[in-house]
A and B are shown apart, each in its own frame.
Chain A
Amino acid sequence: MRQQTPAIALIGLLLVPSAFAQTPRWADDRGEGGSEQQLRELGDNVIDTIGPASGPALSGEALAARTEALASEIRCPVCQGQSVQASTAEAARNMKSQIEALVAAGYSDDEVLRYFEASYGEFIRMMPRAEGFNLLVWLIPGLAMLLGALATWQAITRLGSRRRRQPAAADSTAPKHRDPAEEFNEEDRELLPWLEQVRKELEAEGG
């Protein structure tokens, strides 16, 4: 909920009846939920906002699955970072009922998302609509990965080519750096031939 400054909160606490300041209260569903049937009805402004349903009515497993999928993409407006599907807040549960009503009536995913976007703004979507400017959020990392891959390829071939240009400098004689076949402490150099033998044996056995 809204973050108020401590001073206002304090004044509020003083003005408000002590009923919910100090004594324990039952944590209840705060609102009038309405009957089951009322929950299944569409909001009064649905037709105005997104027009009539474009698809057939849905029920049962398919309805539950699509509702859950959509609810995972819509933010709970009174929570921090949770989707309507994940949140247990009353507002989130109400919204999930509305999503269910819309899907049951036959609206497509896109229409349902547009309905919520109309009043809450694009913020209510957990993933930006994949069009126009928003494509940058995929393109920028994609481009970076591509350039990185190119740089990586160049590094592997360029740095590797130094070895090919100087074939005399075989891997085993780099003075400042470890013997490439060396896996441990240099005291165990004597171990190396055995290690190689074990490896060969293992490979000969088929890995």
Chain B
Amino acid sequence: MNSLLGHGLILLALSSATIGSILGFAAGRSGSKQGLQWTRRLAGTFAISLIAANVVMEYALLTHDFTVKYVDQVGSTASPTYITIVSLWSSLEGSILFWGFILGVYLLGFLVSTRGKHEEMTGYTLATVLAVGTFFAFLIAGPADPFGAVQPRPDSMHTGPNPLLQNHWLMIIHPPALYLGYVGMTIPFGMGIAALLRGHLGPSWMGATRRWMLIPFGFLTAGVVLGGWWAYEVLGWGGYWAWDPVENASFLPWLTAAAFLHAAMLEERRGLLKAWTVVLLLITFSLTILGTFMTRSGVFNSVHSFTQSAIGPTFLVFLAVILVISVLLVGLRMHLLVDEGELGSPLSRDAAFIVNNLLFAGFTFVVLVGTVFPLLAEAIKDVKLSVGAPFFNQLSVPIGVFIVFLMGVGPSLPWGRATSGEVFRLLRLPLGISAVLTLVAAALGMHRFWPLVTLFVALFAAIVALRDMVTPVQALMRRRSLSIPAAAVLAFQRGHRRYGGQIVHLGVALAVVSIAISSSYQTIGEASLKQGEVLTINEYQLRFEDSRNFREPHRDVLEARFTVLKDGQEIGSLGPRLNRYSGQMNPIGTPAVLSTAKEDLYLSLMSVGKGGASAGLRAFVNPMVSWLWVGSTIMVIGIIIAAWPARRRRVEPGEAQDDPTEGGE
């Protein structure tokens, strides 16, 4: 019954997407209002049927209906309920279905927000999004069908979803956050294609596209950081980013989306580089498809290899179609996206935006080439080699430092024109303060080159951001004779987009400093301890007390307990673990972490001797890691603030007919 219902809904989705897409392109060309209305209805049908299909699947999972193929694959009566809910996206077929769910939600949001607006553009946009939807609906209907009706396997084979998913709660929210980021890029992609097809990119459409990119960008930021946090809390090697191909896959569209957001700001201000801005939209979406291909195809040697499948070739064909059509469309139509304004002098904010895009694009290229190079080497030289963290760190650190430096320079420069004298006056205070603080840090013991440079540029960027947040408040205070809080609130309300951006920059500065320090000043200690013995690392002493073994429904847990002393004073206890899941050869460890503002004390259990009499322990002191999570949270908060729809404002006469909810900037 569930299978039948599921199949029916997917077929409904597939047909409405196909017809809707064709109709949308036709309606876009002819300008038919009827055509647009029907396209919108079909888009809504597509969205709702995919959402409903997901509901059906969840129902099947929760009722343990093992006659449904996907439930038979990942379901288990032994799993706790929250694991059962989450197993919807634990394996390939379910995750593609979940992709459809999120696409449906975004599409509904888009339909609602474009009611009666932008009619010359939404036809083409919906047509494009529905074309992508057709591909995914086809996948769900055919190659990656989760709804097949099957003879259930014997119950002993129902071991539940992959153990790595069950190891930590972070793994529950990391995939949805990433998907909300990835899938959301489809809407701005459609909007970019619409601009090319229409041959026109106006300020209100640019503004709408920018907003529709900001939302998935926020989720993608969260998703990437959650992935890093998961690696830190779960994998036990004391780090959070390994430049694994699949990690890179999630990072690449983030970089181009960030580039787009800045290019869009320049475009909205000057009407320049329209074609390049649209190109960034197309590249970002293509990178999400490339990322999905990398994760699912089994072509890359990666941590995520448990999700390999035969769906690779299908995705590659889709990626090829997207890329080739994008290139052709841009090449043939970009001359219609006419530049309107003028660019400022080389020493202006305008130019800074362009350099920003150069750096982000360069960064993207570095990561892409490094990730793909092993394939190239194998194709041409028939040799297996690997490109790992040392390569990526070597190149990304200088580029990242440059970007952060620009983060301070750009907002300091005025739009349009600035003499070198003006620039010097604008920059000397932040540069001066950062230099002094950096020297202080060096005097306090920080001697390595790159951490010092990173600290310098990050402080510089942060001070610039703070200055930019304070200056309008000061101006309002003087003009309106307001108190500080009143002025602050007013400035915030009036320019929430700018404030959001500055808050994001603050978050970036904090995160970057944390990355630099935690990776350069990590301390590691290792010992095999008998009961009562102590391992000393930095100012901590770790005393092995005992170990215990207990069973949870889905795993066996072996925990070793350590008392933590700081300079001789007992401050707590930590219990790192080794978890053994049925069907896995090697245990999966869970580290135990004591986080303070200054550093993390991180314990990873390597082994436990016979009878629990001894334990092999690896201990890390990771300085400033908490600030990475704090900084990333600040970034996401900043993005939310920037994306928040502003209050309605009266439309000024002579202004282009804008989206009434567009306010602030």
Direct A–B touching, Cβ under 8 Å: yes
Interface set of A (CB-CB < 8 Å, partner B): 1, 3, 6, 9-10, 13, 21-22, 24-29, 72-73, 75, 80-83, 86-88, 90, 121-128, 133-134, 136-138, 140-141, 144-145, 148-149, 151-152, 155-157, 159-160, 162-163, 166, 169, 171, 174, 176-178, 180-181, 183-188, 190-191, 194-195, 198-199, 202-203, 206-207
Are B395 and A141 in touch, CB under 8 angstroms?
yes
Partner of A191, one of B157, B384, B476: B476
Known: A24-B551, A126-B389. A176 touches B342 (CB 8 A): no
* CA of A196 to CA of B270, assembled, Å: 21
Partner of B611, one of A26, A121, A152: A26
Q: Residue-by-residue, is B592-613 near A (CB-CB < 8 Å gives 1, otherwise 0)?
A: 0000000000001011111110
Give me 13 other A-B pairs in contact (C-beta within 8 A), A26-B558, A27-B587, A28-B608 excluded: A27-B580, A88-B604, A122-B386, A125-B385, A126-B387, A127-B387, A128-B377, A138-B395, A145-B362, A160-B344, A177-B271, A183-B495, A191-B479
Q: Which B residues lie within 8 Å of A180 (CB)?
A: 269, 344, 414-416
Known: A3-B305, A157-B346, A207-B425. A176 touches B472 (CB 8 A): no
* CA of A27 to CA of B540, assembled, Å: 26
Are A88 and B618 in touch, CB under 8 angstroms?
yes
Give the 5 A-B residue pairs with the shortest CB-CB distance, closest first: A207-B429, A126-B388, A163-B342, A159-B343, A180-B415
Partner of B342, one of A72, A145, A155, A166: A166
* A-B pairs with beta carbons under 8 Å apart, 5 shown: A86-B237, A86-B238, A123-B384, A128-B385, A137-B391
Main DSSP-derived SS at the B contact region:
mixed
Least CB distance, A148 to chain B, in whole angstroms: 5
Q: Which A residues lie within 8 Å of B238 (CB)?
A: 86
Most buried by B among A27, A29, A72, A83: A27
Least CB distance, A146 to chain B, in whole angstroms: 10
Are B607 and A28 in touch, CB under 8 angstroms?
yes
Are A1 and B369 in touch, CB under 8 angstroms?
no
Q: Does B143 contact A (CB under 8 A)?
A: no
Are B389 and A88 in touch, CB under 8 angstroms?
no
Closest residue of B by beta carbon distance from A86: B237
Closest residue of B by beta carbon distance from A170: B416
Q: Which A residues lie within 8 Å of B272 (CB)?
A: 159
Q: Which B residues lie within 8 Å of A24 (CB)?
A: 549, 551, 556, 558, 580
Q: Which B residues lie within 8 Å of A177 (CB)?
A: 203, 268-271, 340-341
Partner of B237, one of A9, A87, A123: A87
- The interface-forming segment of B21-29, B172-180, B189-197, B351-359 is B351-359
Q: Which A residues lie within 8 Å of B426 (CB)?
A: 203, 207
Are B157 and A160 in touch, CB under 8 angstroms?
no
Are B362 and A144 in touch, CB under 8 angstroms?
yes
Q: Does B64 contact A (CB under 8 A)?
A: no
Known: A81-B244, A122-B384, A191-B476. A176 touches B390 (CB 8 A): no
Closest residue of B by beta carbon distance from A190: B479
Are B416 and A171 in touch, CB under 8 angstroms?
yes
Closest residue of B by beta carbon distance from A72: B390
Q: Does B2 contact A (CB under 8 A)?
A: no
Closest residue of B by beta carbon distance from A207: B429
Q: Which A residues lie within 8 Å of B385 (CB)?
A: 121-123, 125, 128, 134
Known: A27-B587, A145-B365, A177-B271. A133 touches B377 (CB 8 A): yes
Q: Which of B112-128 contact A (CB under 8 A)?
A: none
Q: Does B498 contact A (CB under 8 A)?
A: yes
Least CB distance, A100 to chain B, in whole angstroms: 13
Least CB distance, A91 to chain B, in whole angstroms: 11
Closest residue of A by beta carbon distance from B656: A176
Are B343 and A82 in touch, CB under 8 angstroms?
no
Partner of A29, one of B271, B345, B370, B607: B607
Q: Which A residues lie within 8 Å of B425 (CB)?
A: 203, 207
Known: A27-B607, A88-B604, A171-B417. A128 touches B387 (CB 8 A): yes
* CA of A187 to CA of B476, assembled, Å: 13
Q: Which B residues lie within 8 Å of A21 (CB)?
A: 582
* CA of A123 to CA of B587, assembled, Å: 25
Q: Does B19 contact A (CB under 8 A)?
A: no
Q: Does B62 contact A (CB under 8 A)?
A: no
Known: A88-B606, A122-B385, A145-B365. A184 touches B472 (CB 8 A): yes
Partner of A185, one of B495, B608, B656: B495
Are A176 and B476 in touch, CB under 8 angstroms?
no
Q: Which B residues lie within 8 Å of A190 (CB)?
A: 479
Least CB distance, A80 to chain B, in whole angstroms: 4
Q: Which B residues lie within 8 Å of A169 (CB)?
A: 342
Least CB distance, B475 to chain A, in whole angstroms: 5
Q: Does B185 contact A (CB under 8 A)?
A: no
Partner of B585, one of A1, A136, A203: A1
Least CB distance, A114 to chain B, in whole angstroms: 14
Q: Which A residues lie within 8 Å of B430 (CB)?
A: 207
Are A191 and B475 in touch, CB under 8 angstroms?
yes
* CA of A198 to CA of B416, assembled, Å: 19
Q: Does B373 contact A (CB under 8 A)?
A: yes
Known: A75-B388, A184-B498. A148 touches B472 (CB 8 A): no
* CA of A160 to CA of B498, assembled, Å: 25
Are A86 and B239 in touch, CB under 8 angstroms?
yes
Are B388 and A185 in touch, CB under 8 angstroms?
no
Partner of A26, one of B416, B612, B618: B612
Are B475 and A194 in touch, CB under 8 angstroms?
yes
Q: Does B400 contact A (CB under 8 A)?
A: no
Are B358 and A187 in touch, CB under 8 angstroms?
no
Q: Does B302 contact A (CB under 8 A)?
A: yes
Q: Does B34 contact A (CB under 8 A)?
A: no
Q: Does B332 contact A (CB under 8 A)?
A: no
Closest residue of A by beta carbon distance from B348: A160
Closest residue of A by beta carbon distance from B579: A27
* CA of A142 to CA of B626, assembled, Å: 34
Are B580 and A83 in touch, CB under 8 angstroms?
no
Are B495 and A184 in touch, CB under 8 angstroms?
yes
Q: Which A residues lie within 8 Å of B539 (CB)?
A: none
Are B354 and A160 in touch, CB under 8 angstroms?
no
Are A187 and B342 in touch, CB under 8 angstroms?
no
Q: Which of B609-634 contact A (CB under 8 A)?
A: 609-612, 616, 618
* CA of A35 to CA of B349, assembled, Å: 65
Known: A28-B607, A75-B388. A144 touches B417 (CB 8 A): no
Known: A125-B386, A176-B271, A198-B474. A185 touches B649 (CB 8 A): yes
Known: A159-B339, A163-B343, A177-B271. A127 touches B391 (CB 8 A): yes
Q: Which B residues lie within 8 Å of A88 (CB)?
A: 236-237, 589, 604, 606, 618
Known: A152-B355, A160-B345. A82 touches B391 (CB 8 A): no
Q: Which A residues lie within 8 Å of B616 (CB)?
A: 29
* CA of A192 to CA of B203, assembled, Å: 23
Closest residue of B by beta carbon distance from A74: B388
Are A27 and B608 in touch, CB under 8 angstroms?
yes
Least CB distance, A139 to chain B, in whole angstroms: 9
Closest residue of A by beta carbon distance from B247: A81
Closest residue of A by beta carbon distance from B612: A26
Are A156 and B351 in touch, CB under 8 angstroms?
yes
Partner of B494, one of A138, A141, A187: A187
Q: Which B residues lie within 8 Å of A10 (CB)?
A: 157
Closest residue of B by beta carbon distance from A145: B362
Q: Which A residues lie within 8 Å of B381 (CB)?
A: 133
Are B354 and A156 in touch, CB under 8 angstroms?
yes
